[in-house]
Chains A and B, each alone.
Chain A
């Protein structure tokens, strides 16, 4: 079973700070997806990275896929309270199965 390790597990920062969260594996993935989940709701897809070395930007969020396609990172610039949530990475676990990391729980304090 392919595993995705996310770090840190918890992150609490002040509004305006920058942060990076990581998603690592010993396995190669054809693509990785990043989701954000707010309390009481289901995860919502933020981005899919497909090509090794790819960088995608979504406003203040920057996603990078490692050259070897084994890891990914999410960088948030000037975090805002609205960025608070659980950030999950996910990749193919074989045969139409998407496996998820345990997530990074981000709290941005005003």
Chain B
């Protein structure tokens, strides 16, 4: 099993550009999450999903969108990139929500200039 796979690993965007961060998992987990990690700030929840077709906002959803058309995939969309979105983005999945371990991908490092 590959676990949680994120692509790309690195990306540089200009202000106003858009992009999609890809996340896929092969563990048949229902729950999936997007976090951002800024230096010294821990992990902040952007969006999460409890199953295909269901998404909900986390702590810091502004400037982002998600979709969950399949159990495996949970892409994160940035429509108009801003410097404040420079961060490391982590996707995670779990079998039974927060009562079970979160499995994280290795992250996407995004720089917006």
Contact = CB atoms under 8 A, between A and B. Distances in A.
A98 B104 contact: no
Contacts of B105: 42
Contacts of A85: none
A63 to B, nearest CB: 14
A51 interface: no
A95 B106 CA distance: 25
Interface in B25-75: 31, 33, 35, 40-45, 48, 50, 56, 58-59
Contacts of A96: 31, 48, 50, 56, 97-98
A58 to B, nearest CB: 14
What bracket does the count of chain A residues touching chain B fall in?
20 to 34
Nearest to A30: B99
Contact of A102 (B40, B45, B98): B40
26 contacts: A33-B102, A35-B102, A40-B107, A41-B107, A42-B107, A43-B102, A43-B104, A45-B101, A45-B102, A48-B101, A88-B43, A92-B98, A93-B45, A96-B31, A97-B45, A97-B58, A97-B98, A98-B45, A98-B102, A99-B59, A100-B35, A101-B42, A102-B40, A102-B41, A102-B42, A103-B42
Given A92-B98, A99-B45, 17 more contacts: A1-B59, A35-B102, A40-B106, A40-B107, A42-B104, A42-B107, A43-B102, A44-B104, A88-B43, A97-B45, A97-B48, A97-B59, A97-B98, A98-B98, A100-B35, A100-B44, A102-B42
